Structure 1
Amino acid sequence: MSVESVVSPDGKKLTIVIKGRFDFSSHQLFRDAYEPFYKAPDTYIVDLKDTTYLDSSALGMLLLLRDHAGGDESEVRVINSNSDVRKILAISNFDKLFDIN
């Protein structure tokens, strides 16, 4: 499991790429991917293209990211999720909190 963060050249977009299992073992890595930035980006993107598993602690981490980004006023997108991960997000009603595609 790995977590990588990539900031756009203008600093307005932060992409967090998660590879492998997204579970409690990745909690600190995930937080380290977005917390240290002095100026918060306008858009956060969580790329789940290579994510094979998502559990309830991962859902909690996504909520923490949303709060960090500004809550209801934030723009947090979840992209490239496979059908199993997308099903978990839908069952959890995360499609009402995040832009998921």
Structure 2
Amino acid sequence: MSIKSHLSEVEQKLTISISGRFDFSAHQEFRNAYESLPVAPSQFVVDLDGANYLDSSALGMLLLLRDHAGGNSADIEIVNCSPDVKKILTISNFEQLFTIR
């Protein structure tokens, strides 16, 4: 499991890239990716291109990110999902809370 983040200061967009298993073992690293920034981004992108597994704790972490980013007014995209990961997000009705591409 690996989590990398990149803040585009011009666009005020934070991209969090996740590879491997996205589960409870990623909790602290995932939170650090968005909580320890000097500037609050206006847009978030969670790139799951390298994620091959996602469990209920990962869904909870995405909800915590949403709360941190402003709840209903949050601008968060989840991108590059594998078919299996996208199915989990769809079954969980996350397309109503996030933009999934």
Same fold (TM over 0.5): yes
TM-score normalised by L of structure 2: 0.97
3-state SS, counterpart of residue 40 of structure 1:
coil
Instruction: Give, in angstroms, the shift of residue 38 of structure 1.
Output: 2.7
1:94 equivalent in structure 2: 94
1:81 equivalent in structure 2: 81
TM-score normalised by L of structure 1: 0.97
1:65 equivalent in structure 2: 65
Aligned residue pairs total 101
Structure 1 unmatched ranges of 5 or more: none
* Ranges of 4+ aligned residues in structure 1 off by more than 4 Å: none
Identity %: 58
2:29 equivalent in structure 1: 29
**Deviation string for 1:18-62 (max 9, x for gaps)?**
010000000000001000113210100000000000000000000
Root mean square deviation, CA, Å: 0.8
Structure 2 unmatched ranges of 5 or more: none
